[in-house]
Amino acid sequence: MSLLIKGGRVVTDTEDYTADILCEGETITAIGSQLDSPAHATVIDAGGKLVMPGFIDPHVHIYLPFMGTYAKDDWDSAGRAAIVGGTTSLIEMICPAANEDPWEAYQLWRGKAESLAPCDFTFHMGVTRFDDGAADKFRRIVADGVASFKVFLAYKGALGVSDEELFKTLELAAELGVIVTAHCENETLVAELQQRLLAAGKTGPEFHEPSRPVRVEASGVQHLTTFAELTGASVYAVHTSNRAAVEAALAARGRGVKIWVETVIPYLTLDESYAQRPDFEGAKYVMSPPIRTKAEQEYLWQALAAGDVSTVATDHAPFDFQGQKEMGRGDFTKIPNGIPSVEERVKLLYTHGVVPGRITLNRFVDAASTQAAKLFGLYPQKGAIKVGSDADLVVWDPEHRGTISAETHLMQTDYSGFEGWQVQGRAEVVTVRGKVMAQSGKFVGEPGHGRFLARKPTH
Ligand code: URP
Ligand code: ZN
Ligand code: ZN
Ligand code: ZN
């Protein structure tokens, strides 16, 4: 099986040049000008198009039991949605209940993806309990190729860990050389603020943000960095929403703490007014940490352009408006948290980042693909256009105009947080290890093409 992508403008995290790319089997085998087409090769004319490495979303939830319900997508629907959007690899958070066995949870989560996922996939292992015997189980999971952990410093009484557990998790991570991704919020403050708001009759979705103010998140980041400093572990603050939180990370980095910062596409494109929409519609925009002000959004774009924020993920956590978000009518603390966006991340980042000149094309590729590959042990198999890299390629039409709608999206949710939004740019052709999986905005692949990406510790 060979594929020749001819005459595209190849854009990576650092390069920008015109070339042909030859893929044989699952791999890129040649890059050059006027490459000969092998017999029977599929030839794709990429003239006038960009050719970029397959995008990587390092923070998604697909199988997610959460707040008494389950997220709506499975690996088939989420994988199709990812691919038509240009994302060829997903990293999912394994989120076991505190009483679940970690190895069994790993098998359960992985089993949901195996033979169903059309895109490649791997996991961050959620540590939701660290008791006697836990270390050996996590060692085994890391040895099996899951070279990153996830901890929650939030969701008191559910997924959150104690400080003792956090310390032991980071200690083990430092020993094993795995990076720890962390949801950073001070869970005690969240619980207290929620109770005060509810007691004052402030029960609507617009009170979600005031229950988790920016300082609560910055405090979580600060807390994480203290533990990282004392253990020497590498850490990654997920879904960072504001200046104070980013600055807490940067201050720690200045003292030598190995910390990286992720933001997610909802924070770059939405603001607090969405959760204030009347008739409970604000619930569509409830995620944690909350969507912030326009000023915070502008700061995040600057931090992204500067590289202080390394990656743009989604935190895809899809819950229906009808039946699921509605569980929190009359009590915002019961609204399932999350905004579906695995399908729209790349085009929203292009439309709101590259088109208005907030970020360069190279930084776009870096933030949406290469940085995640480097941080999570996938580079240069993923996140690169090099001879020997996986043939995960996106042929991007920079001029295409489209409209986002729940009517047409492939995600399973009954709403889009971006309904009616105009977007520029589209993935015209998407390949996963040499196989064409999307064409002209349509999924043309098969379920189960995706493969588990075993990773080695790199920190
Ligand atoms: O609101 C969010 N973020 N939902 C998913 C769970 C998490 O905290 O990542
Ligand atoms: Zn989170
Ligand atoms: Zn998440
Ligand atoms: Zn296949």
Question: What does the pLDDT read at residue 355?
Answer: 98
What are residue 313's phi and psi, to 5 degrees? Answer: -105, -165
Domain CATH number, residue 248: 3.20.20.140
60 with 48, same domain: the answer is: no
91 with 12, same domain: the answer is: no
Which portions of the chain are predicted below pLDDT 50? none
Domain CATH number, residue 391: 2.30.40.10
Report the nearest atom of ligand 1 relative to the CA of 288.
1
Overall number of domains in the chain: 2
105 with 168, same domain: the answer is: yes
Separation of 350 CA from ligand 3 center, angstroms? Answer: 22
For the Cβ of 185 lying below 6 angstroms from any atom of ligand 1, the answer is: no
171 with 257, same domain: the answer is: yes
178 with 235, same domain: the answer is: yes
125 with 99, same domain: the answer is: yes
**Which pairing describes strands 235-237 and 259-264: parallel, antiparallel, or unpaired?**
parallel
Residue 152 and residue 183 in contact, taking contact as beta carbons nearer than 8 Å: yes
Residue 214 lies in a domain: yes
Burial readout 394-432 (b: 16 or more C-beta within 10 A, e: otherwise): bbbbeebebebebeebbbbbbbbbbeebebbbbbbbbbb
The string of pLDDT tens digits covering residues 297-345 is 999 999 999 999 999 999 999 999 999 999 999 999 999 999 999 999 9
Residue 411 lies in a domain: no
130 with 247, same domain: the answer is: yes
Residue 352 lies in a domain: yes
Helices of type H across 294-393: 294-306, 345-349, 361-365, 371-375
The reported pTM is: 0.98
DSSP character at residue 318: -
Q: How many residues does the chain have?
A: 459
Residue 237 lies in a domain: yes
Residue 456 lies in a domain: no
105 with 23, same domain: the answer is: no
Domain that holds residue 437: 2-52+384-399+423-443
Residue 452 lies in a domain: no
Residue 291 lies in a domain: yes
Separation of 390 CA from ligand 4 center, angstroms? Answer: 14
42 with 61, same domain: the answer is: no
ipTM over 0.90: yes
Question: What does the pLDDT read at residue 156?
Answer: 82
Structure tokens at 29: 């085998």
29 with 144, same domain: the answer is: no
395 with 355, same domain: the answer is: no
Measured in whole angstroms, the distance separating CA 307 from the mean position of its chain's CA atoms is 17
30 with 171, same domain: the answer is: no
Separation of 243 CA from ligand 4 center, angstroms? Answer: 43
Helices of type H across 33-162: 75-84, 102-113, 134-143
Element holding 17 (H helix, E strand): strand 16-24
Report the nearest atom of ligand 1 relative to the CA of 337.
1
Residue 448 lies in a domain: no
